[in-house]
Structure 1
Amino acid sequence: MADREIVCKDCGETFIFTEGEQEFFREKGFENDPVRCPSCRRAKKQRQRD
C-alpha cells in the first residue's frame, strides 16, 4: 500500500491519504476512500452538531 493523493469534493484541494490512514480505515471496516480533506471533514462534523 502506498500514500494516495485524493481531491476533496468540497474544497477541491488535494490531500494525502497515508498508508496509516488507509490501514485505520480498513480496520474500522470502511470500504471507500475519504472524499473530503481532514479540515472539510471537521467542518462537516461541526455543522452536523450545530
Structure 2
Amino acid sequence: MTTILMAGFWGWFEAKAGIEALGHSGPADWCYGVTYAVVLLLGLAGLLPRRT
C-alpha cells in the first residue's frame, strides 16, 4: 500500500533518474522491493538502543 501511495514520488524519480518506475499498471516491481527495504531498515533502526 505504501508503494502505491508513493506514486507521486516514483513519478518524480522516474523523471529525474530516467529509470522506469511507473507503468500502465502501477509502480514497477523493484519499487515494491525498495519500499519494503526502507521500511524494514527504519523499523530495525527504531529497535537499536540509543546512546544519550
Q: TM-score normalised to the size of structure 1?
A: 0.34
Question: Greater relative contact order: 1 or 2 (C-alpha under 8 angstroms, separation 6 or more)?
Answer: 1
More helix by share: 2
